[in-house]
Structure 1
Amino acid sequence: MKIDEQLRTTYKRQRALADRLKNEVDKEILARKPSSWHYESRSKEEESFALKIEAGRVKNPDAIEDAFACVVVVPNYSDIKDAERLVIDLYGSPAYKRPQSHEITTKAPSDFRFDDLRLYMKYVEQGYGPPTGLAGVIFEVQVRTFLQHAWTIATHDVVYKADNVSWRRERVAHQAKAALEQAEVTIESMAALELSAALPETNDQFTLINEIISTLKSHWERDQLPRDVRRLAEGVYALLRNVRLSDGDSFRELLDVGQAKYGGSHNLNWSPYRSILQYLAEQQPDRLARFLTNKKSNGSAFVYDAVLAEMGLNRAGAPRATVLGTA
């Protein structure tokens, strides 16, 4: 595309600023954002710059607001305010933002056009290192959720960079956005929906897993359990189901007896799973051996060699046992 020399000169000056901004802002936001957030940025390309100005979409062609722009992507809608706060902590209050409010919109209920939060920030020197000369330069920070980000990536080129306009194509894109917004609302309201009488409250598996979690927490201190207690409980549930010991009372008794045998406390050199496995081998050896030696069963369980040896079994005779060092 032919670009007027005057526009090209203006672009080169703003691109140089944008590239310097990108270098600084990337470092500053990446250093502050949580690892669960996503961040990306870009300096505007020359053709996009020229098209935006010639289309009359810029109030000040000598300082366009998104010569440099970045996007912060957060897990859920409730995290958007945290991302906005992070940006404001770095650079102060935005020069302006769109939309102006989280609570009030100019859109009709039937309107699902692009409306991600956009903050227009004036760069502020962070007080370390040599001056950058960028103080006061405006740049754009978009904040969106992963679902919003996915919609933008999936539809942007198809809708906005096609060789023709299509009412149907844009209709479908915005229908997809409406569906994702409904998903956002559902996720945000999950705690309230959990209490809905329209849904069953639980099933036998979930009831037992919750009992296992409660029992684990009553037997081990919090720092002795993994951060993901649910995953441990699901592994214990599978083990108990395999040995046909699937009720909360039996599990509590298993731990109480095992704890008493070892002087009133669990062996902290063992993981909670290792302790449970040891107690099964000691208190329910027939059940555990029956499962481990069953060639027709489809299940399996991780078992330490020491536990197999205590039960008088070996790897060859325990086809349901998954053990270390088999690769």
Structure 2
Amino acid sequence: MPVPQSVLNAYNHVEPLLKQIQEYVRSTLRVYCDRSGYLFFDRVKGVDSLSEKLEGGRVKKWSDLDDLYACTIVVPTATHEAAVIRKLDACFQRTAIRSRGTAKKAPEVFRFDTTRYYGRLLETAALERAAGISHLTFEVQIATAFEYAWSTVTHDLVYKGDRVDWKKQRLAAQLKAAVEQIEMIIGAFDQVSIAVPESEWPEIACKDSIVEAFQELIADGAISSSLTPASWRRFADNVFALISSYTSNPHARVAATNDLIAEFSRYWRQSDAPPNPESGSLFQMVVGHVGRAGTVGSLDKYVIVNSVEMRDLYGVEECKQEFLFDISQQSDPDLAHAAEE
């Protein structure tokens, strides 16, 4: 689109500064976002978009522009927002913030309401760069995953069409209402889950009993706390998969689970139980128990990742279904040899 020369001149003057701001902010925040598991996106506003914004008549002077450079940090839920703001305050000079929920809106209105942080480079960073850069304000949006998905999907569908469509705007608002409801449920997940009607499902009950039993063994000191799994959910899934491998009848798995828990608990609670291994994993400990002669289970059909710990600490000498490190054998014979050892 044709851009007024006055706008083009002003934009050309600040564009090099905006690119310096982008480089600094990006290098400052991207590592933080990668480490924290957040998504990071940024952009320098193009001159066409800027010209259209100025034509809207809502900006009175050039110094009021606060999003010539803008970035978005996407967090899982709104509970992460406070930590992000602390990070921003530590890295930049805050000029303003518009928190979610502070904008006045009627109860039946649903629209963009993401937290926006406005800042400038700290004096120490500005002094190392071109003159005038310290006066430019940039925007950091802190959006939840659902908010970002809504704004990204609906923006092009609604605002980049050739017509002003009431139905599309209405649908976008309805989707925003759904996003707000999802956010509310996630924010109060534990409390809301209490109200969910529960249907009995044997597999879930089995896995919960596995977690409860092994947590009690650790709490009572029968099992070393150093073997606490990183994820109890994954541990329960793996133990149940092991039980399923030697219990083909799904209706018999509840009893099989109870039998394994009872047998394992008796063994490690007895006064003459051997010392707990200090390395390996709790699941390897279960595999080692099932692999002993005379126990209720069997390892014949379960794929086992063999290791020195499995052999020396948990007594599993032979694996009928052993995990094969075939990729390492193809790419690095030395690595394959190390895995065998």
| Structure 1 CA distance for aligned equivalents of residues 140 and 325 of structure 2 | 50
Residue aligning to 2:146:
147
Distance 1:326 1:37, change over 3 A: closer
SS at match of 2:52: helix
SS at match of 2:91: helix
| Structure 2 CA distance for aligned equivalents of residues 269 and 205 of structure 1 | 29
**By how many angstroms is 1:301 displaced?**
2.2
Matched, 1:253 2:263: yes
| Structure 2 CA distance for aligned equivalents of residues 36 and 162 of structure 1 | 34
Aligned-partner residue type, residue 271 of structure 1: S
Residue aligning to 2:121:
123
**By how many angstroms is 1:24 displaced?**
0.7
| Structure 2 CA distance for aligned equivalents of residues 305 and 114 of structure 1 | 53
Residue aligning to 1:185:
184
Residue aligning to 1:110:
108
- Using the TM superposition, name which of 159-168 and 280-289 deviates more: 280-289
Q: Are the counterparts in 2 of residues 255 and 276 from structure 1 also a CA contact under 8 Å?
A: no
Equivalences, count = 308
Matched, 1:273 2:271: no
**By how many angstroms is 1:113 displaced?**
1.4
Residue aligning to 1:137:
136
Residue aligning to 2:82:
81
| Structure 2 CA distance for aligned equivalents of residues 122 and 304 of structure 1 | 53
Q: Are the counterparts in 2 of residues 75 and 146 from structure 1 also a CA contact under 8 Å?
A: yes
Matched, 1:172 2:171: yes
The Cα offsets for residues 230-273 of structure 1, whole Å up to 9 and x where unpaired, read as 21221002212333453346314225426869952233454322
| Structure 1 CA distance for aligned equivalents of residues 214 and 296 of structure 2 | 24
State how 1:53-64 maps to structure 2 within 5 Å: 53-61=54-62, 64=65
Residue aligning to 1:234:
237
**By how many angstroms is 1:50 displaced?**
1.0
| Structure 1 CA distance for aligned equivalents of residues 149 and 61 of structure 2 | 31
| Structure 2 CA distance for aligned equivalents of residues 304 and 121 of structure 1 | 51
Q: Are the counterparts in 2 of residues 73 and 144 from structure 1 also a CA contact under 8 Å?
A: yes
Distance 1:63 1:110, change over 3 A: closer
The Cα offsets for residues 251-306 of structure 1, whole Å up to 9 and x where unpaired, read as 142254268699522334543223212211215457426xx3xxxxxxx5223679
SS at match of 1:194: helix
**Structure 1 length as normaliser, TM-score?**
0.81
Distance 1:284 1:176, change over 3 A: farther
SS at match of 1:41: strand
SS at match of 1:288: coil
Residue aligning to 1:205:
203
Q: Which runs of 5+ in 2 are unaligned?
A: 248-254, 328-341
Q: Are the counterparts in 1 of residues 304 and 319 from structure 2 also a CA contact under 8 Å?
A: no
| Structure 1 CA distance for aligned equivalents of residues 289 and 127 of structure 2 | 60
Q: Are the counterparts in 1 of residues 39 and 74 from structure 2 also a CA contact under 8 Å?
A: yes
- Using the TM superposition, name which of 64-73 and 134-143 deviates more: 134-143
SS at match of 1:95: strand
Q: Are the counterparts in 2 of residues 10 and 62 from structure 1 also a CA contact under 8 Å?
A: no
Pairwise CA RMSD of aligned residues?
A: 3.2
| Structure 2 CA distance for aligned equivalents of residues 96 and 210 of structure 1 | 48
| Structure 1 CA distance for aligned equivalents of residues 70 and 317 of structure 2 | 66
**By how many angstroms is 1:228 displaced?**
1.9
Q: Are the counterparts in 1 of residues 243 and 297 from structure 2 also a CA contact under 8 Å?
A: no
The Cα offsets for residues 136-186 of structure 1, whole Å up to 9 and x where unpaired, read as 421111111010001111111111111111111111111111111111111
Matched, 1:52 2:73: no
